[in-house]
Amino acid sequence: MGDAPVDYSDAVSETLARVPIIDGWFTMDEIAPSLIGCRCPRCGTYVFPPRAGDCPSPECESETLEPVELSRTGRVWSYTENRYAPPPPYVATDPFEPYALAAVELEAEGLVVLGKVATGVLAADLQVGMAMQLELDISHRDDTNEYVVYVWAPAAPAPSNQQRANP
């Protein structure tokens, strides 16, 4: 992998700065974080990830987009679970712990946003259509920083395996 092993001990974390894994994609609100997208001031369409510049709609000539906080809740469009460590530039734990990802549909914005799923929630706990909400989690740590990433978490208790359409 070429990257230094990641230290997850709590003793280290107390001295680390808490920084977002990428700037400007989500608020660092510990209680009720939001994704930060963009909205076109002319046609009203939404964009995520946030960016500067032109509206993506071919029917709109706006050359600016404005930052906007997106809905904190949505429904699962689909999901998966990584059982092998992704290659760099992903920073994997050693040993690697499987984690889930979910693509969540935000109704008001008409966006489907891919994110990691909260630690400990795996594919067996998820289902298409399930209600999810945005939270923050730790992606990884290095010598100076603790990197925070947005994650999707079940908004309600996960259904039992018996209730799943296709176990």
Point out which residues bind another protein (CB under 8 A).
21-23, 25, 43-49, 56-59, 77-92, 99-101, 103, 108-116, 123, 127-129, 139, 149, 165-166
By DSSP bridging, strand 17-20 and strand 145-154 are: parallel
Q: Which is nearer to another protein, 91 or 118 (CB)?
A: 91
Q: Which is nearer to another protein, 114 or 155 (CB)?
A: 114
Q: Which residues pair with 68 in a beta bridge?
A: 37
Closest approach, Cβ 55 to another protein, in A, equals 10
Residue 66: exposure state from Cβ atoms within 10 A (0-12, 13-18, ≥19) = exposed
Q: Please, what's the b/e burial string for 26-56 (b: 16 or more CB within 10 A of its CB; e: otherwise)? A: bbeeeeebebbbbbbeeeebbbbebeeeebe
Closest approach, Cβ 146 to another protein, in A, equals 15
Q: Which is nearer to another protein, 49 or 67 (CB)?
A: 49
Closest approach, Cβ 149 to another protein, in A, equals 6
Closest approach, Cβ 11 to another protein, in A, equals 26
Q: Which is nearer to another protein, 15 or 78 (CB)?
A: 78
Start-to-end Cα distance in the chain: 34
